[in-house]
């Protein structure tokens, strides 16, 4: 395994992104960068400030990483938000903000990274989607649409860049214990749990292990795949 590849995880200051960055470091990767709007990434990472809705701030972040660690080779597009409410109450702003972060942010990050991946003729693009992208979720029209779109994104990228040693895959977590899910009402959490065959929620580290595996040589022939990490919640989707 090439542990000297340059890794970038967006939103690496907390939640799933932080656990992913921690797992890259504990696996032995020596060049791990995270973006953060606030706070810091875990020990052993380079933290660069960036807002994924802002191409200029991302460009500055990449430039700093390139100067310090080298060109990014493993991109984990993780930063994401929710603005949950039922369709009839959902404002255009609620819709646009979520799409601009979850889908637009992924576009901006991957586009900025692509030149370097093409030059290296090697790359791993890993997009953090969600089980609700394909399963659907009442109150999450904006969020589930933005997450479903990542499947088309990864598959189109696979068709564009798959011949250049670059893979693009989607990881679709189910219910992971982070700040994002802590916001959900108790009743919603209980409802989810009833429907999860594993009968429990997961830790962010259980997502992280799948991401580092997708980045490894063992996953070199996997591209355009959607890997669920959901305890069976979304089976068949």
**Residues catalogued as catalytic:** 143
Nearer to ligand NDP, 2 or 93 (CB): 93
β-pairing verdict for 123-128 and 74-77: parallel
Q: Least separation, in Å, of the C-beta of 52 and ligand NDP?
A: 4
Residue with tokens 């997009």: 127
- Work out whether 185 is an interface residue with ligand NDP (CB under 6 A): no
Say how many residues touch ligand NDP, by CB under 6 A.
29
> Interacting stretch for ligand NDP, rule CB under 6 A, among 22-30, 35-43, 158-166, 191-199?
35-43
Q: Which residues pair with 44 in a beta bridge?
A: none
Nearer to ligand NDP, 51 or 73 (CB): 51
Helix, coil or strand: residue 202: strand
- Work out whether 13 is an interface residue with ligand NDP (CB under 6 A): yes
Q: Least separation, in Å, of the C-beta of 123 and ligand NDP?
A: 20
Q: Which residues pair with 34 in a beta bridge?
A: 9, 47
Query: Could you say which of 5, 14, 124, 155 contacts ligand NDP (CB under 6 A)?
Result: 14
Query: Could you say which of 80, 116, 228, 231 contacts ligand NDP (CB under 6 A)?
Result: 80
Q: What is the DSSP string of 120-182?
A: HT-EEEEEE--THHHH--TT-HHHHHHHHHHHHHHHHHHHHHGGGTEEEEEEEE-SB-SHHHH
**Among 132, 223, 213, which Cα is nearest to 172's?**
132
Nearer to ligand NDP, 45 or 78 (CB): 78
Can you tell me the distance from the alpha carbon of 64 to that of 205, in angstroms, rounded to the nearest whole number?
A: 27
Tell me which H or E stretch contains 71.
none
- Work out whether 38 is an interface residue with ligand NDP (CB under 6 A): yes
> Interacting stretch for ligand NDP, rule CB under 6 A, among 9-17, 67-75, 158-166, 187-195?
9-17
Can you tell me the distance from the alpha carbon of 145 to that of 237, in angstroms, rounded to the nearest whole number?
A: 14
Looking only at residues 88 through 147 of this chain, which bind ligand NDP when binding is defined by CB under 6 A?
101, 105, 128, 130
Strands (E) in the chain, as ranges, are: 6-9, 31-36, 45-49, 74-77, 123-128, 166-173, 226-229
Q: Least separation, in Å, of the C-beta of 226 and ligand NDP?
A: 12
Q: Least separation, in Å, of the C-beta of 165 and ligand NDP?
A: 26
- Applying CB under 6 A, which residues contact ligand NDP? 10-11, 13-17, 35-38, 51-53, 78-81, 101, 105, 128, 130, 173, 175-176, 178-181
């Amino acid at each position: 395994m090439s542990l000297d590849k340059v890794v970038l995880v967006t939103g690496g200051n907390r939640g799933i992104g932080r656990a992913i960055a921690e797992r890259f470091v504990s696996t032995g990767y020596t060049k791990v960068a995270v973006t953060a709007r606030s706070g810091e990434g875990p020990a052993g990472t380079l933290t660069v400030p960036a807002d994924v809705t802002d191409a200029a701030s991302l460009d500055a972040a990449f430039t700093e990483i390139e100067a310090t660690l080298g060109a990014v080779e493993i991109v984990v597009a993780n930063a994401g938000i929710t603005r949950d409410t039922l369709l009839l109450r959902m404002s255009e702003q609620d819709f646009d903000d979520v799409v601009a972060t979850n889908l637009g942010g992924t576009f901006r990050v991957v586009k900025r990274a692509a030149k370097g991946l093409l030059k290296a003729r090697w790359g791993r693009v890993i997009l953090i989607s969600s089980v609700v992208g394909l399963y659907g979720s009442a109150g999450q029209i904006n969020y589930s649409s933005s997450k479903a779109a990542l499947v088309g994104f990864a598959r189109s990228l696979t068709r564009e860049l798959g011949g250049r040693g670059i893979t693009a895959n989607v990881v679709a977590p189910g219910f992971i214990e982070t700040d994002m899910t802590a916001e959900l009402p108790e009743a919603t959490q209980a409802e989810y749990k009833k429907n999860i065959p594993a009968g429990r929620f997961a830790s962010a580290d259980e997502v992280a292990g799948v991401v580092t595996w997708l980045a490894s040589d063992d996953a070199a022939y996997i591209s355009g795949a959607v890997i669920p990490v959901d305890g069976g919640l979304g089976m068949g989707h």
